[in-house]
């Protein structure tokens, strides 16, 4: 829950230890996952023992003795460290007119091996080129949805060979894909929208990837979609996803080319003579999955080639949900600027409780089943951040004898939730045990399935 950090996140302050002397090498994509040592102030203790954090998905090719020698050198060089407190709102202002290369260098310098470039297989290869030019170590990951164009897969291979790296691929959960396809077919998104398929094939794999990082780098630009991305900062505390430490505010998002126009990106790519996806030459500008991407005509905006059968306002897959600009329909109420957004937590295994329903639940002293209930507001970015994990929890516990529910506690219900349901901030999670009249408040900010399940097993 955001209770203990809400004031800090509101001001976008993000405190962490920063390595000030990261060694420069060309790339790290070929290191073995079992041997890569992540050395950050948070992984060092007073006894001198160090812990390693496994990378997202690395497949190495390097002599073991060389790896141990390299990591020993890294450890010796970063023993001296400087503890800084970064205010990323202020940093974004300082870097507003900086070049993408300068922004990339700052990102890699600050987060070392705890940051990775999100590579989609389109013109964001520019990010890899900028990272390469810094001379610093860098990591690259990509989401393989299983529905990409053959040209995109060949492009991935060309990029790996050009830069001598290994892209860390993330794949969707096979059981989830199987369930979606068996129940709704291969092309259900043409009938009921792309969000469900993107959630299974892209958003959830991205969530898993980011849980192994403290920061990530994207190729978002303001001119890509003026209706939804016009206010992207060059760096920000990620408003939606969680990082390695868990909880709201645990991940930083860098957008080095936010202020760069698409034409300038392409001038850079041509000048540097880097590999590009051959689909671009066929009229594809914004490239995603094969069934959902098509070429655009001269004069059309690049996003018109994505999900062309849908309304223009829906042309986002969910990876950058926190940067989507909404039209505010309400005013500042109790210090909270509300926007009209669709409801969240949509699993069929979730119980949506009304005010009467949760009052009845509170009155039961001997419940037949334990309940876990999230008190939420749809406009809250911290609630949106746990949408996928809470839906997954509901699906996982279906038929187990544990009820998973939601109660919208903003608006007219907020005072009631504060007085009767221990609401301090959104989201608040309560467990109603079988044999207790009072609910137990979940005390942690970690909202992943394993953490919630563990707490539930202890108190239900």
Residue with tokens 């990378």: 55
Q: CA–CA separation, 116 vs 139, rounded Å?
A: 5
Question: Cis before residue 431, ω within 30 degrees of 0?
Answer: no
Residues paired with 440 in a beta bridge: 431
> Cβ(145)–Cβ(121) under 8 Å?
no
The DSSP line for 78-135 is TSS-EEEEEEHHHHHHHTTTS-HHHHHHHHHHHHGGGEEEE--SSTTHHHHHHHHHHT
Instruction: Tell me if residue 374 falls in helix, strand or coil.
Output: strand
Look at phi and psi of residue 284 and say left if phi exceeds 0, alpha if psi is from -120 to 50, else beta: beta
How many C-beta neighbours within 10 Å does residue 373 have? 24
Contacts of 77 (CB under 8 A, 6+ apart): 21, 23
The DSSP line for 177-203 is HHHHHHHH-TTTHHHH-SHHHHIIIII
Residue 336's H or E segment, with its range, is strand 336-337
Q: CA–CA separation, 89 vs 361, rounded Å?
A: 43
Q: Which of 107, 75, 73 is nearest to 88 (CA)?
A: 107
Q: CA–CA separation, 358 vs 346, rounded Å?
A: 18
Six token digits for residue 33? 């996952």
Instruction: Tell me if residue 368 falls in helix, strand or coil.
Output: coil
Q: Which of 131, 87, 78 is nearest to 105 (CA)?
A: 131
Look at strands 13-18 and 371-376 and give their pairing. unpaired
Six token digits for residue 153? 């897969």
Q: Which residues are catalytic?
A: 380, 383
Torsions phi, psi of 122, nearest 5? -115, -145
Q: CA–CA separation, 168 vs 334, rounded Å?
A: 44
Q: CA–CA separation, 115 vs 212, rounded Å?
A: 9
Instruction: Tell me if residue 337 falls in helix, strand or coil.
Output: strand
Q: CA–CA separation, 70 vs 112, rounded Å?
A: 15
């Amino acid at each position: 829950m955001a209770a203990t950090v809400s004031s800090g996140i509101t001001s976008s302050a993000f405190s962490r230890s920063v390595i000030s002397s990261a060694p420069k090498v060309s790339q790290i994509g070929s290191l073995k996952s079992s041997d890569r040592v992540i050395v950050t102030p948070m992984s060092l203790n007073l006894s001198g023992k160090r812990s390693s954090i496994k990378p997202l998905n690395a497949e190495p090719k390097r002599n073991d003795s060389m790896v141990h020698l390299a990591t020993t050198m890294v450890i010796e060089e970063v023993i001296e460290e400087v503890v800084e407190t970064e205010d990323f709102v202020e940093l974004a202002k300082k870097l507003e007119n900086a070049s993408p290369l300068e922004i990339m260098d700052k990102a890699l310098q600050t987060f070392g091996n705890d940051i990775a470039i999100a590579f989609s297989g389109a013109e964001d290869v520019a990010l890899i080129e900028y990272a390469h030019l810094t001379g610093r170590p860098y990591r690259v990951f990509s989401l393989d949805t299983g529905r990409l164009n053959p040209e995109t897969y060949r492009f991935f291979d060309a990029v790996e060979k050009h830069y001598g790296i290994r892209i860390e691929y993330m794949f969707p959960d096979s059981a989830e894909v199987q369930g979606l396809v068996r129940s709704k077919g291969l092309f259900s998104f043409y009938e009921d929208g792309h969000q469900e398929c993107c959630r299974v094939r892209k958003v959830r794999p991205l969530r898993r990837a980011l849980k192994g990082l403290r920061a990530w780098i994207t190729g978002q630009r303001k001119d890509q979609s003026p209706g939804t991305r016009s206010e992207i900062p060059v760096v920000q505390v990620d408003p939606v996803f969680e990082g390695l430490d868990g909880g709201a505010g645990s991940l930083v998002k860098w957008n080095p080319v936010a202020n760069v126009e698409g034409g300038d990106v392409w001038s850079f790519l041509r000048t540097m003579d880097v590999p590009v996806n051959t689909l671009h030459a066929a009229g594809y500008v914004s490239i995603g999955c094969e069934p959902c991407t098509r070429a655009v005509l001269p004069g059309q905006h690049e996003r018109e080639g994505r999900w062309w059968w849908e309304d223009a306002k829906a042309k986002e897959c969910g990876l950058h949900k926190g940067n989507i600009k909404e039209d505010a329909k309400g005013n500042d109420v109790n210090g909270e600027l509300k926007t009209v957004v669709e409801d969240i937590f949509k699993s069929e295994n979730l119980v949506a409780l009304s005010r009467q329903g949760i009052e009845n639940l509170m009155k039961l002293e001997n419940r037949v089943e334990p309940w876990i209930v999230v008190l939420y507001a749809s406009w809250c970015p911290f609630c949106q951040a746990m949408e996928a994990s809470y839906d997954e929890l509901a699906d996982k516990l279906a038929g187990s004898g544990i009820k998973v529910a939601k109660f919208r506690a903003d608006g007219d219900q907020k005072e009631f939730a504060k007085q009767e349901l221990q609401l301090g901030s959104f989201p608040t999670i309560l467990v109603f045990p079988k044999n207790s009249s009072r609910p137990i408040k979940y005390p942690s900010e970690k909202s992943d399935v394993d953490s919630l399940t563990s707490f539930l097993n202890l108190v239900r």
